[in-house]
Structure 1
Amino acid sequence: MTAKHADHGGPDTVPDAADEATFKPLSREEAQALMAQHPPLSPWRVVAVQAVAGVVVAALWYAVTRKGGAAWSALYGAAAVVLPGALMARGLTSRISRASPGAAVLGFMFWESLKIALAVAMLVAAAKVVPDLSWPALLVTMVVCMKVSWLALLLRRGQAKQTS
């Protein structure tokens, strides 16, 4: 029995000629048309959606608690996500188009590390920077801001449907 018949889908499986025949490389024009139909999501849009979400959550904290400390804590939590994200977006969009793939990966790792370091530094400084600090408001807002990236994808998808 050959490796092709002995294991269906395992690492020793030999690809069928039919599988190879179904793959068709795109021409330059087809690739450009596909990219025009599905443009990449701008990191700036993600940062903007995170900022709006942070302001909305801070307003909700103030509406529910009627405490300025909770609202300022929530705004600071949003800033601890948005500012490092904006720094990373600036770093990646400034050089990414002309970088080699290896340099792009290293650049991404550098800016991601810088983003994390800035966010951690902002959290460490929170107790001294924010009067009447509310850790629950700060942390909940941070989580919301980090998790709304999918909203930017949905907004882009909705715009694509409107233009079609």
Structure 2
Amino acid sequence: MKNLPYETEIEDEESDFKPMTAQEAQEWRRRNPPISIWQVVAGQALVGVLVALAAWLLTGKASAGWSAGYGALAVVVPAGLFARGVLRQKAKLDPRAAMAGFFGWEIAKIVLTVALLAAAPRLVPDLSWLALLAGMVVTMKTYWVALMVRPGVRKTD
């Protein structure tokens, strides 16, 4: 039977895969240590405080600082809930139950974020939506920085 070009390409891609040896896997783990999810959440909280202070200092208005802080809070609190929920069920052996739990906690995180945003006009006096959004975005993007600057990661040349 004649192979189609697409099938040959797939076979070539599959043949390029080379599993790691135990020693290579151990070296990879040494170069890429795991980061605690709680460190990421704590980093997000710290960045949220810094963004709130920066908003207050740049605008000269306390309401902008509170708005940015509330935006950060709308990221950190749901992230903490998600982390706690996922880590509590980490011990489950059934992969399907673990994946369902992961999605369940992700939905809970989204619902809590939306609820916090919906409550913002009632909870934050003189709310600045722009400052709130800035606080949220900067705080959300913190985990990328945490992954890039984590200790123990060695770049290979």
- TM-score bucket of the superposed structures, by smaller chain: 0.7 to 0.9
**Map of 1:60-139 to 2, 5 A cutoff?**
60-139=54-133
Bigger Rg, which one: 1
Counterpart of 2:51, as a letter, is V
Cα distance in 1 for partners of 2:52, 2:16 equals 55
Match of 2:34 among 13, 19, 40: 40
Residue 153 (structure 1) aligns with: 147
Counterpart of 2:153, as a letter, is A
Q: Which ranges of structure 1 fall in alignment gaps of 5 or more residues? A: none
Quote how far apart the aligned CAs of 1:132 are. 1.4
Counterpart of 1:2, as a letter, is K
Residue 2 (structure 2) aligns with: 2
Query: SS in structure 2 opposite 1:47?
Result: helix
Cα distance in 2 for partners of 1:91, 1:51 equals 18
The structure with higher relative contact order (CA 8 Å, sep 6+) is 2
Quote how far apart the aligned CAs of 1:30 are. 5.4
Cα distance in 2 for partners of 1:89, 1:160 equals 23
TM-score normalised by structure 2 residue count: 0.84
Residue 141 (structure 1) aligns with: 135
Counterpart of 1:121, as a letter, is A
Structure 2 vs 1, CA of residues 23 and 2 (structure 1 numbering), >3 Å: closer, same or farther? Answer: same
Query: SS in structure 2 opposite 1:15?
Result: helix
% identical equivalent positions: 44
Counterpart of 1:15, as a letter, is E
Q: How much is the aligned-residue C-alpha RMSD, in angstroms?
A: 2.6
Cα distance in 2 for partners of 1:141, 1:14 equals 45
Point out the more displaced range, 31-40 or 69-78.
31-40
CA offset digits 1:104-163 (Å, max 9, x no partner): 21111000000000000000000111111111110111011111211101221x5434xx
TM-score normalised by structure 1 residue count: 0.81
Q: Are the counterparts in 1 of residues 33 and 153 from structure 2 also a CA contact under 8 Å?
A: no
